Amino acid sequence: MPIAVGLEGSANKLGVGIILHPSHDTPTDPPSPHDSAHSDDGAFHPHSKQHSSPPVQILANLRHTFVSPPGTGFLPKDTAAHHRRWVVRLVRQAMKQAKVRLEDIECICYTKGPGMGAPLGSVAIAARTLSQLWDKPLVGVNHCVGHIEMGRAITGAENPVVLYVSGGNTQVIAYSAQRYRIFGEALDIAVGNCLDRFARVLHISNDPAPGYNIEQLAKTGNVLLELPYAVKGMDVSFSGILARVEEMAKKLEASNGSWLDPETNTSPITKSDLCFTLQETVFAMLVEITERAMAHVGAAQVLIVGGVGCNERLQQMMGIMAEERGGSVYATDERFCIDNGIMIAHAGLLAHKMGFETQLKDSTFTQRFRTDEVLVNWRD
Amino acid sequence: MTEPTSLSLSACSHLPIPFNTSPEPLELIAQGAESLLYKTTFLFPSQPAALKIRPVKKWRHPTLDKRLTRARILAEARVLVKLSGEGIAVGGGGRKVKDPKKGNGVVGGMRGLVPAVLGLDWEGGWLVTEWIEGGTVKEAIYRVSRARTMGGSGVGLSGDAVVEELRGLLRKMGEVVGKLHACGVVHGDLTTSNMMLRPFGTASPQSSKPEGHDEASAQLSTGPAPDVDQPKSTSRSQTSLEGDIVLIDFGLATQSVSDEDRAVDLYVLERAFGSTHPREEELFACVLDAYAHGEGSGMNGKAGKTVIRKLEDVRMRGRKKSMLG
């Protein structure tokens, strides 16, 4: 049966997912709502009435996150140790939840890269072990392609421009001739990294995620301070913005409420205002390059994936932009936006169906693995 | 870019002052991600002009929107004014400003090769420039390409002659980019749609009354709809590649003399050319050759060759960084 296990651990989340692709050859009755992954979530109903392939079934999707104390980030060594500590428990639980027999499993998929070396390594070892233990082929998956394919499967977006925004990646991607081509990207740090590191300076909690807590604070901010704005064509740069906003954060701590809104000169600047300023600025940059890519390739659909893609303000801004262009925005919730095992299982199974396999001797991991290196031969 | 539509035709009330009172509807020429391009007249009914409007982006914070619109309109206008040499002396030939032979001939070195600025308003978000007659280089190459496909039949030109004409055009492209760089500006978005081929004799010195714009307006389109070529273009020579190349759309231009920026500028053109004109791709070397040799008093030989060497590096890394986790 086309069932795959996916293991993800490129950053501080360890994910295990088990997916079933209902087979194409057996013309089945129309999929009941219980078949599809998205049916249990009314907000993200697929817009595709005629999806080219039958909907995928998510049998299990578990995640455990390594949360570091406020003011710190997650270090590779500690993160890898976290993944090693949890991977067996998570796989056991996923298998139990999915209720699949070993002989039904077609392949073991794991994140080959890009990501942090040490956590990737510990998960690759787990995948190799499972593959040897159960005598199943291995499939190494590009993390970014996993995000894109899962986003497409969940939302039903056919051929969208993809904005992939997370702690490690910022890319605007469009599909062309069996590759996901990168039209624009961050030239230095990723947008999520910019948000995370800003959160550290202000000692904002990393639980459940620094970006989430910034988003909540930003909801009560309303003063827009001036930050650099670095868009170059379809590329963006965040390091200068981070440096500036970190300065502001330090100024805020030192000011003790004496730093007043430059416009009104009455109300003091707050943490919330800084969060608001940062979000408004970096999201405007992201929407701008996405719009440029959409104009370039003539697309009206846009799909947001990656951890930062959960942010509702980003989704709202993108929605207004897409609407102005006569299109629509597709986004998923935290189960699929944030790193997870199911997307690795999904993309791996797509590749495996096309005959792709990773031999044991090649089952390495890599910190550098560009999205456009993958031959996407499962799409036309 | 989407195809020009008839969106503008009913009323002008959505346009900024003073264009909202235009008695005749403005013709929407092109719509990009950032801006709308209209054909209109400015100050005199006889002066055709290109109106570029940067509409308010509702998705971004109004303060940020105002700030960006203002900065971008001013930056674009400043570059154009600098290039047309309005009272500004421009250094030449890259870093070696004192090169005695070629580089120094470029005071206002792009005069007539970029549209002149006629007016702007950063609050209203608009910039009006001189109207450039002719069609885009992209359309011209498509036209010639079609003639090549038909084996030059009925045109009285052999395939070889057509290729020679194309080479000439490409050399002119290299020259004009060289001149631009020698003036200390990189364009940022060089494509064959951002180059106009203006027939000789249709340049309009700003003060004098422009001529021949009414009959040319029929064939004007900077929009990406090259395949709707009117039948009337066949009445002219199929391969008329004569004229000056005029660079347009400086929305992404920056002032820079670094080899890296110049090389990226050429790389963007190379990639855009390859994807727009795959059949002519092997001729692109002519552009670089003309650029490197500083033809038409562009980059002087040495500076031009340095940039071409840098271009090799840029090609190798594909403009992009190697991706970190």
Instruction: Delineate the domains of chain B, giving CATH numbers in brackets.
Output: 19-317 (1.10.510.10)
How many Å lie between the alpha carbon of B34 and the closest alpha carbon of chain A? Answer: 8
Q: Which is it for the CA torsion B267, B270, B271, B273, positive or negative?
A: positive
Q: Does B229 touch chain A (CB under 8 A)?
A: no
Which uninterrupted H or E stretch holds A252? helix A239-255
Tell me what the mean pLDDT of segment A70-96 comes to: 96
- Tell me if B1 and A229 make a contact (CB, 8 A cut-off): no
- Band (A256; pLDDT cuts 50, 70, 90): confident
Portion 73-112 of B in contact with A at CB < 8 A: none
Lowest mean pLDDT segment, chosen from A217-226, B182-191, B227-236: B227-236
Portion 143-162 of B in contact with A at CB < 8 A: none
Amino acid (one-letter) located at A95: M
Instruction: Kindly tell me if the per-residue pLDDT of B31 is higher than 90.
Output: no
Average per-residue pLDDT for chain A: 91
Q: What whole-number percentage of chain A has pLDDT above 90?
A: 82
Tell me what the mean pLDDT of segment A282-305 comes to: 94
- Band (A273; pLDDT cuts 50, 70, 90): very high
Instruction: Kindly tell me if the per-residue pLDDT of A172 is higher than 90.
Output: yes
Q: Does B316 touch chain A (CB under 8 A)?
A: no
- Tell me if B60 and A182 make a contact (CB, 8 A cut-off): no
Tell me what the mean pLDDT of segment B4-29 comes to: 68
Do residues B55 and B36 make contact, with C-beta atoms less than 8 angstroms apart?
yes
- Band (A15; pLDDT cuts 50, 70, 90): very high
- Tell me if B323 and A368 make a contact (CB, 8 A cut-off): yes
Instruction: Kindly tell me if the per-residue pLDDT of B92 is higher than 70.
Output: no
Lowest mean pLDDT segment, chosen from B63-77, B111-125, B185-199, B291-305: B291-305
Q: Does B1 touch chain A (CB under 8 A)?
A: yes
Q: What is the pLDDT of residue B230?
A: 40
Tell me the three state secondary structure of residue A181. strand
B117 or B299, which is more confident:
B117
Do residues A238 and A188 make contact, with C-beta atoms less than 8 angstroms apart?
yes
Tell me what the mean pLDDT of segment B73-95 comes to: 71
> Which structural domains are found in chain A, ordered by start?
3-153+337-373 (3.30.420.40), 159-334 (3.30.420.40)
pLDDT of A332-362, one tens digit each?
999 999 999 999 999 999 999 999 999 999 9
List the binding residues of A for a divalent metal cation: 143, 147, 164, 339
Instruction: Kindly tell me if the per-residue pLDDT of B278 is higher than 90.
Output: no
Q: What is the pLDDT of residue A25?
A: 53
Instruction: Kindly tell me if the per-residue pLDDT of B116 is higher than 80.
Output: yes
- Tell me if A318 and B323 make a contact (CB, 8 A cut-off): no
Q: What is the pLDDT of residue A132?
A: 97
Tell me what the mean pLDDT of segment A242-248 comes to: 97
pLDDT of B282-310, one tens digit each?
999 999 999 998 766 667 778 889 999 99
B185 or B295, which is more confident:
B185
Average per-residue pLDDT for chain B: 77
Q: What is the pLDDT of residue A81?
A: 97
Instruction: Kindly tell me if the per-residue pLDDT of B65 is higher than 50.
Output: yes
Which uninterrupted H or E stretch holds A303? strand A301-305
Q: What is the pLDDT of residue B316?
A: 79
ipTM, 2 dp? 0.86
Instruction: Kindly tell me if the per-residue pLDDT of B109 is higher than 70.
Output: no
User: From the CB of residue B118, how many other CB atoms can be counted at a distance below 10 Å?
Assistant: 17
Which uninterrupted H or E stretch holds A79? helix A76-98
Tell me what the mean pLDDT of segment B26-53 comes to: 88
Name the closest residue on chain A to residue B250, using Cα atoms: A233
Q: Does B6 touch chain A (CB under 8 A)?
A: no
Instruction: Kindly tell me if the per-residue pLDDT of B108 is higher than 60.
Output: no
- Of these ranges, A297-311, B156-170, B221-235, the one predicted with the greatest mean pLDDT is A297-311
- Alpha-carbon B171 to chain mean position: 16
From residue A52, give the alpha-carbon distance in Å to each of A48, A380, B85: 9, 11, 58
Instruction: Kindly tell me if the per-residue pLDDT of A42 is higher than 50.
Output: no
- Tell me if A284 and B1 make a contact (CB, 8 A cut-off): no
- Tell me if B322 and A368 make a contact (CB, 8 A cut-off): yes
Instruction: Kindly tell me if the per-residue pLDDT of B236 is higher than 70.
Output: no
Q: Could you give the CA distance from residue B58 to residue A317 in angstroms, rounded to a whole number? A: 8
For residue A46, cis peptide bond before it (omega within 30 degrees of 0): no
Q: What is the pLDDT of residue A39?
A: 37
Q: What is the pLDDT of residue A263?
A: 86
Q: What is the pLDDT of residue A330?
A: 97
- Band (B276; pLDDT cuts 50, 70, 90): confident
Q: What is the pLDDT of residue B158?
A: 66
How many Å lie between the alpha carbon of B279 and the closest alpha carbon of chain A? Answer: 18
Instruction: Kindly tell me if the per-residue pLDDT of B222 is higher than 60.
Output: no
From residue B228, give the alpha-carbon distance in Å to each of A180, A262, B3, B218, B275: 31, 54, 11, 12, 20
Which uninterrupted H or E stretch holds A331? strand A328-331
Q: Hey, which residues does A327 pair with through a beta bridge?
A: none
- Band (A104; pLDDT cuts 50, 70, 90): very high
The residues of B that are catalytic are 189
- Band (A102; pLDDT cuts 50, 70, 90): very high
List the binding residues of A for substrate: 164-168, 196, 211, 215, 311
Q: What is the pLDDT of residue B315?
A: 84
Q: What is the pLDDT of residue B302?
A: 83
Instruction: Kindly tell me if the per-residue pLDDT of B218 is higher than 50.
Output: no
Instruction: Kindly tell me if the per-residue pLDDT of A201 is higher than 50.
Output: yes
Among A284, A321, A371, the residue with its CB nearest the CB of B64 is A284
pLDDT of B122-173, one tens digit each?
999 999 999 999 999 999 999 888 877 765 555 555 678 888 889 999 999 9
